[in-house]
Amino acid sequence: MVAITDGSLRHLESELSLNIIASISTSLIARKQGLASRMTATLIAEAAQSGSDLSALGMFEQGYSSRLGFGTGPYEHRV
């Protein structure tokens, strides 16, 4: 199951449409088959084809989001 919702993001004077992948739930068997990744990628592509300007992925496991092209930004180290 992939839970998605629409939103918007304001940047300067522009309002951009936002497709939010809020959560992804799957069994271990489906995960090993890549089902969640394929379904998520398909939903992102469909949102882009429907005119969504941006997509956001709720952070739950960094390696997963990196495989789909989502970054978390650089880490900040302070001493």
Structurally, the chain folds into a number of domains equal to 1
The number of helix segments (H) and strand segments (E) in the chain equals: 3, 3
Per residue of the chain (79 residues), what is the pLDDT tens digit?
A: 888 899 999 999 999 999 998 888 888 887 788 888 888 889 989 999 999 999 888 766 666 667 777 766 666 667 7
CATH number for 32: 3.40.630.30
Angle at the Cα of 66 from the Cα atoms of 1 and 61, rounded to 5 degrees: 55
Please tell me the distance from the alpha carbon of residue 26 to that of residue 36, in angstroms, as a whole number. Answer: 7
User: 12 lies in a domain?
Assistant: yes
pTM confidence score: 0.70
User: 74 lies in a domain?
Assistant: no
User: 76 lies in a domain?
Assistant: no
The range of the structural domain enclosing residue 53 comes to 2-67
User: 29 lies in a domain?
Assistant: yes
User: 28 lies in a domain?
Assistant: yes
